[in-house]
Amino acid sequence: MVVLCGPLVNLLLFAVSHCILQHKFSLGLYVFGCVNLLIFAFNMLPVSFLDGGVLLQLVLGENKAAMLTDIFSFLVMAAFAVLFSDSIIHSAFAILLFAIYYCIN
């Protein structure tokens, strides 16, 4: 289960930093722990190229997981395009690029 190594390291680093923070507060260590927790959460999203998508493929099988990860990947990318764009034209262009990516892929 190599797919779990990266996320488990992020969780372990978060847990270690959290335990150290119980005894002595450090802003740098707090940020380090939060970043590791965010990387874990992002990495476990069921998107086809992240560890969560690969894990879903191992659990559900290739056909069902491929369909679910493709749908979720498109929704996540479309949401990022809309949320992080500064105008409607940019978000429409970004969604068009994502649609072309999925047609090719």
How high is the mean pLDDT of the chain?
82
pLDDT surpassing 70 at residue 104: no
Q: Give the Å distances, CA to CA, from 96 to 67, 76, 82, 104.
A: 20, 14, 12, 12
pLDDT surpassing 90 at residue 102: no
Which tokens is 15 given?
Answer: 């847990």
Q: 47-71: per-residue pLDDT in tens?
A: 777 888 888 888 888 888 888 888 8
Q: pLDDT band at 85, cuts 50/70/90?
A: low
Q: 14-40: per-residue pLDDT in tens?
A: 999 999 989 988 899 999 999 999 999
**pTM (global) more than 0.75:** no
